[in-house]
Structure 1
Amino acid sequence: MYLKSLNLRSFRNYRECLVDFDAPKTILVGNNAQGKSNLLEAVELLATLKSHRAVRDRDLVCEGTAEGKIAATLERANGTVDLALTLRTQARRTVSLNSETLRRQLDFLGVLNAVQFSSLDLDLVRGSPEMRRNWVDSILTQLEPVYAHILQQYNQVLRQRNALLKAFRKESDSNNSTANTQNSSELALWDAQLVTTGSRVTRRRARVLTRLAPLAQTWHSSISGRSEVLELKYAPNISLEKDDPEAVQQAFLEKIQQRRIAEQHQGTTLVGPHRDEIEFTINQTPARVYGSQGQQRTLVLALKLAELKLIEEVVGEPPLLLLDDVLAELDLNRQNQLLDAIQDRFQTLITTTHLGSFDAQWLDSSQILCVEAGQIKR
């Protein structure tokens, strides 16, 4: 797939901006806070409908305006597609394909595929389990767009069940036996929904990590000079011995029953994929605790290259690669490994504050754009 053009209107610090991409690699150069990352964020939104930098749409729209728009023309193997996302400060966002507004945002996902690698991703190893869960969920959303709906369902059930557990704890403190009986009956209904939706999330995470792990191991071995062995392990909150819907649901239910008293005492759900972990070990040592900064950078780079390969395998076309000010964080060896892996195979958008990280061959084959105060010039 190839992103031919990107049009931003009242998005972040871009009032009106049209970019035509005429080379496999585009380098966006400029000082900090000029809008380089905002442009990559726009592409990320078209790919996943999410931003890792903002939660609310109003934060994405230019100050003083009611709505902003991101539009793009994408060339895919089966033809050209026009995408558009309209963001509003006071109303719901809308999406359209080929000028037709879609009723379901789910139908927008999977049209444009992209892998983003930013300096924030270097916290993937040392950061919280939530960061690693979000990373896996983001991959799944692109590979299997219906997963976004499954995850949304699970989170809705989780919120409702947590509210009930809080009410249960409150009534228990006041020794209201009638209310406790009613809450217990209602809790059983939410248990069943939590098990159903949670099992779908768990099984899909397990499957995608099983496919991703060998790809990451191969890249890691290459980057580390075959001196280190990476293991990527999914550690779900429940016992997961096989990918069987009934077995997973049964394990889920048993774990809920085991933690019943603790959940009612704490007033929150203690069982489910919202408590999953993804473990990285290097030479059988936990990378989160013992990995050096260099080892952690190698690990994250291997994960991102594995993401690229997996999406290409599943989708049948190479995704876009978005590199947000990450080359400065990598030493020369890792930079070369990354740049050699990209070549002209993946359309790549790179932000940087200077061009010193690139050799002459790369600069000659790249489109170089200067970004200054929301304006882009060649």
Structure 2
Amino acid sequence: MFVRSLRLQNFRSWSSADFEFGPGVSVLVGRNGFGKTNVIEALYYVATLRSHRVSTDAPLIRTTAESATIAATVENSGRELTVELQLTAGRANKALINGAPRRRPRDVLGVLRSVLFSPEDLQLVRGDPAERRRYLDELAAMRSPAAAAAKTDYDRVLRQRTALLKSAASAMRRGGADAESVISTLDVWDEQLAQFGGQVMAARLDVLRDVEPHVVQAYSTIAPDSRPVRLGYRSSGEDAPAPTADQPADAQELGQWLLSELGRVRSKEIDRGVCLIGPHRDDVDLWLGAEPAKGFASHGESWSLALALRLGSVELIRADGAEPVLMLDDVFAELDAARRAALVAHVRDAEQVLITAAVADDIPAELAGNRIAVVMKEIDGQRISQVDSAVTA
């Protein structure tokens, strides 16, 4: 699998741009703030329908424009598909495949499978649980569109249920019909939240089971003298069903358990006005030996583990029969010589590697490839990213 071409219109710092790629290594070189990462971000958006830097789409649209367009042509085993995404401020995004409109943007998931390495990866180890949940959810979405749909539905129900909980306490104090209405409505939302939540948890547990051996292997290669790594899923509820090692997680069983847990904490949720149980509050435990990595891992161990998580993603996608596009966003400047060498050893034989770097010398010689120089120019008072064709080779 590789990206053959990319077209950007009013995306971030790019007013208009067309890129031609191919198998092998392509390197975007330019000073910090010139728009290199924006190119990687656009392709990552095609693969995951989200940015790796911001939580909403609004910053992706140029400040002088009302909409942005990303169009990427992806070749996979001789078959070409062109995904076009139209992002519009204040309106629903639109998606097309080979020019045909799709009913939902998530229908494009799976056309491009990619793994992104970036300096932000350190947050997988040291950051909030949301970073680690997102890691599992993105892998699940790339493996199965149904997992992406379940997560979207879960988030929708969670927002509506949370809105109800914020007003539930006052309604319960009034009693009578108001209290009865809250209880009956909560019953409906609980059932839906449990149904979709069970599906989300099952997808995450399956991903975690399948990716863990790859992460363990990668970590032992990168940091052979460190403690062994172990991954685990920590639920926000009590006594969650544990899946067997050789069977897929049971979404229905997890849903029934979640429904029971919601009933157990209902009075607390009404008092606090928040959802206390569910996949949105779960976490992934990362262990080095007998100690949690967060808070106990050294800086070097944290980077090694973050790198192992990404390399594990690569091997998981390969095991599923696809060769992901690898995107390395200015990571070589963050790694020491040993970790650079380990990363190069894992990615140099990939079908396509896209790299950004502020300094060309940061790129290891083994990953020398087509160089694309990115510059920033001021046009009509606006800073706009451009490709400097004079030095592109």
Task: Give CA-to-partner distance per residue, 1:160-209, whole Å, 9 cap, x none.
Answer: 2222222221123x443432222122222222112111111111111110
State the 1:267 CA deviation. 1.6
Corresponding position of 1:96: 96
Moved more, 290-299 or 254-263: 254-263
Of 264, 267, 270, the match for 1:261? 267
Corresponding position of 2:27: 27
Distance (Å, rounded) in 1 between the aligned partners of 2:50 and 2:355: 20
* Structure 1 unaligned blocks of 5 or more: none
Q: Read off the aligned partner of 1:241 and give its amino acid letter.
A: A
Partner-residue secondary structure (3-state), 2:286: strand
State the 1:281 CA deviation. 0.6
* Structure 2 unaligned blocks of 5 or more: 244-248, 377-384
Q: Decide whether the 8 Å contact of 1:217 with 1:229 is kept in 2.
A: yes
Distance (Å, rounded) in 2 between the aligned partners of 1:213 and 1:84: 34
Q: Decide whether the 8 Å contact of 2:199 with 2:255 is kept in 1.
A: no
> How has the CA–CA distance of structure 1 residues 171 and 336 changed in structure 2, closer, same or farther, with 3 Å as cutoff?
same
Distance (Å, rounded) in 1 between the aligned partners of 2:367 and 2:242: 47
1:124 matched to 2:124: yes
1:240 matched to 2:241: yes
Partner-residue secondary structure (3-state), 2:126: coil
Q: Read off the aligned partner of 2:255 and give its amino acid letter.
A: Q
Distance (Å, rounded) in 2 between the aligned partners of 1:198 and 1:305: 28
Distance (Å, rounded) in 2 between the aligned partners of 1:309 and 1:346: 13
Q: What is the 5 A alignment of 1:94-243? A: 94-172=94-172, 174-225=173-224, 227-238=226-237, 239-242=240-243, 243=249
Q: Decide whether the 8 Å contact of 1:141 with 1:148 is kept in 2.
A: yes
Q: What is the 5 A alignment of 1:68-107? A: 68-107=68-107
Moved more, 177-186 or 268-277: 177-186
Q: Decide whether the 8 Å contact of 2:215 with 2:311 is kept in 1.
A: yes
Distance (Å, rounded) in 2 between the aligned partners of 1:64 and 1:330: 37
TM-score by length of 2: 0.91
Distance (Å, rounded) in 1 between the aligned partners of 2:148 and 2:262: 24
Distance (Å, rounded) in 2 between the aligned partners of 1:34 and 1:117: 19
TM-score by length of 1: 0.94
Q: Read off the aligned partner of 1:240 and give its amino acid letter.
A: P
Partner-residue secondary structure (3-state), 2:72: strand
Partner-residue secondary structure (3-state), 1:86: strand
Q: Decide whether the 8 Å contact of 1:22 with 1:367 is kept in 2.
A: no
Task: Give CA-to-partner distance per residue, 1:56-97, whole Å, 9 cap, x none.
Answer: 444222232333221122111151122211222353322111
Distance (Å, rounded) in 2 between the aligned partners of 1:283 and 1:262: 36
What do you get for the CA RMSD once the two structures are aligned? 1.7
In the alignment of these two chains, the number of paired residues is 374
Which 4+ runs in 1 deviate beyond 6 A? none
Q: Decide whether the 8 Å contact of 1:212 with 1:307 is kept in 2.
A: yes
Of 278, 282, 286, the match for 2:288? 282
Of 362, 365, 375, the match for 1:372? 375
> How has the CA–CA distance of structure 1 residues 75 and 179 changed in structure 2, closer, same or farther, with 3 Å as cutoff?
same
Q: Decide whether the 8 Å contact of 1:237 with 1:273 is kept in 2.
A: yes
Partner-residue secondary structure (3-state), 2:341: helix
State the 1:23 CA deviation. 5.0
Distance (Å, rounded) in 1 between the aligned partners of 2:255 and 2:15: 50
> How has the CA–CA distance of structure 1 residues 165 and 16 changed in structure 2, closer, same or farther, with 3 Å as cutoff?
closer
> How has the CA–CA distance of structure 1 residues 360 and 168 changed in structure 2, closer, same or farther, with 3 Å as cutoff?
closer
1:313 matched to 2:319: yes
1:295 matched to 2:301: yes
Partner-residue secondary structure (3-state), 2:361: coil
Q: Decide whether the 8 Å contact of 1:23 with 1:367 is kept in 2.
A: no
Q: Decide whether the 8 Å contact of 1:25 with 1:344 is kept in 2.
A: no
Partner-residue secondary structure (3-state), 2:360: coil
Q: Read off the aligned partner of 1:205 and give its amino acid letter.
A: R
> How has the CA–CA distance of structure 1 residues 31 and 307 changed in structure 2, closer, same or farther, with 3 Å as cutoff?
same
Corresponding position of 1:348: 353
Task: Give CA-to-partner distance per residue, 1:276-327, whole Å, 9 cap, x none.
Answer: 010001112100010001000000000000101111222x221111111111
> How has the CA–CA distance of structure 1 residues 185 and 10 changed in structure 2, closer, same or farther, with 3 Å as cutoff?
closer
State the 1:245 CA deviation. 3.9
Q: Decide whether the 8 Å contact of 2:139 with 2:313 is kept in 1.
A: yes
Q: Decide whether the 8 Å contact of 2:234 with 2:283 is kept in 1.
A: yes
Corresponding position of 1:330: 335
State the 1:246 CA deviation. 4.2
Corresponding position of 2:51: 51
Q: Decide whether the 8 Å contact of 2:195 with 2:252 is kept in 1.
A: no
Partner-residue secondary structure (3-state), 2:319: helix
> How has the CA–CA distance of structure 1 residues 100 and 250 changed in structure 2, closer, same or farther, with 3 Å as cutoff?
closer
Among all aligned residue pairs of Structure 1 and Structure 2, give the percentage whose two residues are the same amino acid.
33
Q: Read off the aligned partner of 2:65 and give its amino acid letter.
A: T
Distance (Å, rounded) in 2 between the aligned partners of 1:266 and 1:290: 33
> How has the CA–CA distance of structure 1 residues 367 and 23 changed in structure 2, closer, same or farther, with 3 Å as cutoff?
farther
Distance (Å, rounded) in 2 between the aligned partners of 1:124 and 1:361: 27
